[in-house]
Homo-oligomer: A and B are copies of this chain.
């Protein structure tokens, strides 16, 4: 079996994958340092207990990793860390160890799971992230920035300040944060809105939009119009077979996907108008499944 490891800020998800089946999966708490040591030791113990032969280990990390080397990963407290060197202590040399950025890994997972060799994955969460897969291989780019479409300058109307330093980035309006920001922006114009601003989340906006709340609908239209226009631009740059939409906000389901599709078609060049826009299917298992597929990916 292949092992897929999804490294997060507070927990690490581990999966044992056979073909397209996640046979076992569990989470490990990772407080107090030595993250990779703890995880690898745990994986070896679990494999021994269940009598599993490990064919390879793939790892998704929340940041930049190059040839299994992490220069800096502040959100998990790692610096100048060689994953492969650490893995040598736990696995024999013939076991492939591969790692990549978590957004890319999720894209690879969706591609393999859906049998779509070349796709572009968009994650709508606190920010807007993305990753690209071509012929079942992750495309990294010269600065490991392929797919970072959250920082396309797309909204010159509000031109909100982004955390990256730019203004008008896609994620200032189309992420979960962007959706709540837009709700505040228009709050005073819609006194009758049912949105509960004392507990404002993107989900609160989506839920109210589904019930027909005018403010919520206005906000989601603007968020998805910007996203649809951005994806139409992405399409003439990279021309994927499909877009996958994942991340927390995407849990809104077809309601949101249909809005994105609507605006995508409005702004897409005829040659790329029929690119599929699909909900990501793996949910929070995209990380472990995608990571397990790194093993297969080759160079």
Contacts and interface: CB of A to CB of B under 8 A. Distances in A.
A160 to B, nearest CB: 15
Nearest to A118: B142
B239 A237 contact: no
Contact of A236 (B151, B235, B241, B275): B151
B271 A143 contact: yes
A175 B236 CA distance: 17
Interface of A: 118, 132, 134, 139-154, 156, 164-166, 169, 229-230, 232-241, 267, 269-272, 274-275
Contacts of A156: 156
Contact of A164 (B134, B240, B270, B275): B270
A2 to B, nearest CB: 26
A153 B237 contact: no
B239 A166 contact: no
Contact of A144 (B118, B141, B239): B239
B166 A267 contact: yes
Contacts of A272: 143, 145, 148
29 contacts: A118-B142, A132-B237, A139-B238, A142-B239, A143-B271, A143-B272, A144-B239, A144-B271, A145-B236, A145-B239, A146-B237, A146-B238, A146-B239, A148-B236, A148-B239, A149-B233, A149-B237, A150-B236, A151-B236, A151-B269, A152-B232, A153-B232, A153-B267, A164-B270, A165-B270, A166-B269, A169-B269, A230-B233, A234-B237
